[in-house]
């Protein structure tokens, strides 16, 4: 699967989202989803200290309104019993889900990391992380003083999970078929960074085998606690946009989800 292309006719999740969209000050549109045992919550009524941990999910280039992204966020909230926060990294201009006939996807992919670079994305994530760690009684609202924050990123979002982990802004991380990260960002990870797991596709035109080997060597050389799983018979994007009708893809997708759950249960304290 080429980056950010959903083949015509491929099924996407059509289940009703369990979460909802809020705006985190000053203007970050965010999909938030909570464990089912807890009544529906919002930036104004979440009570402290309801959650010991929370998960920051950074999407692929399609952004927070991709049904598959909301579906997997809901699954993490249900399985990990914690809030999952999915901010709009693109400030309202993600890669289009429905593309016009003359749309140049290759050009759009080249422009994406230029337009949505750390100078534009980092401040968005700062607002979100501050909100997650604030009390709901704060004048700008908050999630409730969450201290243990994990991060999971897909494709585009994986780059910024790497950055947050190297900056010690999250405690543990999982990335899936990462895109657009630099060698400098990767090398900023070291033994004091939280643990990192990554899931990769055998065939990936962005996270190539060469880049995968580079990541392995850096993590090993820098003393990072890490784990890697590579799935054969799948392509870039499998864990978030993979076709469930294809057995190999469905298996890899489910294993990447389950592996992330196990990783966070081990390395993201819930008490």
User: Based on the structure, what is the number of domains in the chain?
Assistant: 1
Q: What is the model's pLDDT at position 62?
A: 96
Indicate which residue of 60, 155, 181, 243 is catalytic: 155
Are the C-beta atoms of residues 266 and 48 closer than 8 Å to each other? no
13 inside domain: no
Q: Which CATH number do you get for residue 166? A: 3.40.50.1820
Alpha-carbon gap, residue 43 to 61, rounded angstroms: 25
Alpha-carbon gap, residue 64 to 70, rounded angstroms: 7
264: which 2 tokens?
Answer: 């966070």
Q: What is the model's pLDDT at position 36?
A: 82
Alpha-carbon gap, residue 235 to 179, rounded angstroms: 13
204 is known as an active-site residue: yes
15 inside domain: no
6 inside domain: no
pLDDT band at 12 (very low <50, low <70, confident <90, very high): low
Mean pLDDT of all residues belonging to the chain: 91
pLDDT band at 70 (very low <50, low <70, confident <90, very high): very high
What share of the chain in percent tops pLDDT 70? 90
Of the listed ranges 105-109, 167-171, 188-192, 196-200, the one predicted with least confidence: 105-109
2 inside domain: no
Strand partners, 31: 21, 86
Indicate which residue of 177, 181, 236, 243 is catalytic: 236
144 inside domain: yes
Q: What is the model's pLDDT at position 11?
A: 45
155 is known as an active-site residue: yes
14 inside domain: no
State yes or no: cis peptide before 19, omega within 30 of 0: no
24 inside domain: yes
Full domain range(s) for residue 259 = 20-267
Of the listed ranges 3-7, 45-49, 144-148, the one predicted with least confidence: 45-49
Indicate which residue of 60, 74, 88, 204 is catalytic: 204
**Which residue matches tokens 């993590």?**
219
230: which 2 tokens?
Answer: 């590579």
Tens of pLDDT, residues 126-176 = 999 999 999 888 999 999 889 899 999 999 999 999 999 999 999 999 999
Alpha-carbon gap, residue 89 to 160, rounded angstroms: 10
What share of the chain in percent tops pLDDT 90? 80
**CA nearest 86: which of 65, 101, 107, 102?**
65
Tens of pLDDT, residues 212-225 = 999 999 999 999 99
Are the C-beta atoms of residues 31 and 86 closer than 8 Å to each other? yes
Alpha-carbon gap, residue 131 to 216, rounded angstroms: 33
202 inside domain: yes
């Amino acid at each position: 699967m080429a980056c950010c292309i959903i083949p015509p006719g491929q099924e996407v999740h059509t289940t009703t989202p369990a979460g909802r969209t809020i705006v985190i000050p000053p203007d970050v549109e965010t999909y938030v989803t909570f464990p089912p045992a807890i009544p529906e919550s919002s930036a104004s009524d979440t009570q402290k200290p309801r959650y010991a941990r929370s998960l920051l999910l950074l999407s692929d280039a399609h952004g927070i309104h991709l049904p598959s992204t909301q579906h997997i966020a809901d699954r993490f909230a249900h399985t990990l019993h914690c809030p999952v926060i999915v901010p709009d990294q693109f400030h309202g201009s993600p890669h289009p889900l429905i593309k016009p006939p003359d749309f140049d996807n290759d050009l759009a992919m080249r422009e994406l990391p230029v337009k949505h670079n750390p100078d534009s994305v980092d401040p968005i994530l700062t607002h979100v992380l501050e909100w997650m760690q604030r009390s709901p009684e704060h004048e700008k609202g908050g999630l409730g003083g969450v201290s243990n924050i994990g991060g999971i990123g897909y494709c585009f979002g994986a780059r910024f999970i790497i950055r947050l982990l190297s900056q010690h802004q999250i405690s543990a991380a999982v990335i899936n078929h990462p895109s657009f990260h630099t060698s400098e960002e990767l090398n900023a990870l070291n033994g004091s960074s939280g643990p990192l797991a990554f899931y990769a596709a055998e065939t990936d035109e962005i996270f190539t085998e060469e880049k995968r080997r580079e990541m392995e060597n850096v993590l090993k050389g820098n003393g990072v606690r890490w784990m890697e799983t590579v799935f054969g018979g799948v392509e870039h994007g499998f864990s978030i946009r993979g076709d469930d009708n294809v057995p190999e893809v469905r298996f890899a997708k489910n294993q990447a989800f389950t592996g992330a759950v196990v990783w966070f249960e081990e390395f993201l304290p819930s008490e």
